[in-house]
Amino acid sequence: DAMVIQNPRYQVTQFGKPVTLSCSQTLNHNVMYWYQQKSSQAPKLLFHYYDKDFNNEADTPDNFQSRRPNTSFCFLDIRSPGLGDAAMYLCAFGGGSGEKLFFGSGTQLSVL
92 touches other proteins (CB under 8 A): yes
Provide the sign of the torsion angle of the four alpha carbons 82, 89, 37, 105, taken in this order.
negative
Q: Which of 78, 87, 90, 109 binds other proteins (CB under 8 A)?
A: 90
Cβ distance to other proteins smaller for residue 6 or 85: 6
Closest C-alpha among 25, 18, 66, 27 to residue 45? 66
Tell the smallest beta-carbon distance from residue 86 to other proteins (Å): 14
d(CA 13, CA 11): 6
CA angle, residues 2, 107, 70, in degrees to nearest 5: 60
Is 9 strand, coil or helix? coil
> Looking only at residues 6 through 45 of this chain, which bind other proteins when binding is defined by CB under 8 A?
6, 9, 31, 33, 35, 40-43, 45
Site for other proteins (CB under 8 A): which residue of 28, 69, 83, 100?
Answer: 100
- 3-state secondary structure at position 87: strand
Residues that bind other proteins (CB under 8 A): 4, 6, 9, 31, 33, 35, 40-43, 45, 48, 50, 55, 90, 92, 94, 96-98, 100-106, 108
